[in-house]
Structure 1
Amino acid sequence: MSAILHLAIPAGDLSNTVKFYTDILGCSLGNSEEGRWVDVNFWGNELTLHQSEEQLPTVRHDVDMGAVLVPHFGIHLTQDDFDAIKDRIATAGLKYIDEPYRRFKGDKYEQETFFISDPNSNVLEIKCMKNPELLFPEV
């Protein structure tokens, strides 16, 4: 079995948040318990959305592109998948927390990234690496 990340987060109104992950991000659904939680196939990782009333607090931390919200989670995508999500965000009229930005220009770690929140204000960073094979090269 491969290593699969599992992350469980508060989802607020579960049905509304599920629509964001399926309609905007293009994720599929897995196991669920009606009205309580649902598993989302987050590009081969298990993201569990829990019906909730609470939201996670966030703070900004300085990085090269400015101050980013923490905590956040995200995914590294192919250029095609990255562009498709940006198109769905534009079509849905959603606003970015941090607009798409190219980091480390000219460096082997060059990437385009943006930050968006789901309906319960969970912060996601979506990335597209120029050279994804260099992220964790074999030693």
Structure 2
Amino acid sequence: MAVELNHTIVAAHDKEESARFLADLLGLDVEPPYGPFIPVQVPNGVTLDFMDTSGTITPQHYAFLVSEDDFDAIFARIRAAGLAYWADPQHSRRGEINHNDGGRGAYFDDPNGHRLEILTRPYGSGGDRPS
């Protein structure tokens, strides 16, 4: 049996702003609203459906595997936006990127506190373990 992640709901205080934030940084499109959701589809077919909530948002982690060229473009947009970024998920290495598994990676937060990550090599694909 083949199992694939199709979509996930991303809680937001302003779903349009949050969807636009992610789409702009990753170079993706915001799709037309679908029911209560503002979708952003990534090229592998997974959709992040942003939905408004007035309650407390529990931060989630979303990692995006990107090419080296895409990393350069996305990282340039992160820096141009003046966003804080870290080399690690604990946010202890501010202003750095990592080189885990022979690739590059960076963590940054969205407006709702969700932890976003871009990486060029899947963890475990090279010799270096994530730091």
TM-score category, normalised to shorter length: 0.7 to 0.9
Match of 2:72 among 52, 72, 83: 83
Deviation at 1:23, TM superposition (A): 1.8
Residue 94 of structure 1 pairs with residue 83 of structure 2: yes
Deviations 1:9-56 (A, max 9, x none): 10221222122112222121224147x321101233211111113311
Residue 121 of structure 1 pairs with residue 119 of structure 2: no
One-letter amino acid of the counterpart of residue 75, structure 2: K
Deviations 1:85-138 (A, max 9, x none): 0000111111114431112xxxxx322111111111111111012xx6x85xxx
Give the Cα separation in 2 of the matches to 1:101 and 1:90.
16
Structure with the largest fraction of strand: 1
Give the Cα separation in 2 of the matches to 1:7 and 1:73.
10
CA contact (8 A) 2:16 2:38 kept: no
TM-score where L is the length of structure 2: 0.73
Q: CA RMSD in A?
A: 2.4
Give the Cα separation in 1 of the matches to 2:47 and 2:79.
26
Q: What SS does the aligned partner of 1:101 have?
A: coil
Give the Cα separation in 2 of the matches to 1:15 and 1:39.
9
The aligned residue for residue 51 of structure 1 is 52
Deviations 1:41-76 (A, max 9, x none): 12332111111133115xxxxxxxxxxxxx412111
Structure 1 residues 4 and 31: alpha-carbon distance in aligned structure 2, compared to 1, 3 A threshold: farther
Give the Cα separation in 2 of the matches to 1:117 and 1:43.
21
One-letter amino acid of the counterpart of residue 55, structure 1: I
Residue 41 of structure 1 pairs with residue 41 of structure 2: yes
Give the Cα separation in 1 of the matches to 2:53 and 2:12.
6
CA contact (8 A) 1:97 1:117 kept: no
Structure 1 residues 97 and 37: alpha-carbon distance in aligned structure 2, compared to 1, 3 A threshold: farther
Structure 1 residues 97 and 121: alpha-carbon distance in aligned structure 2, compared to 1, 3 A threshold: farther
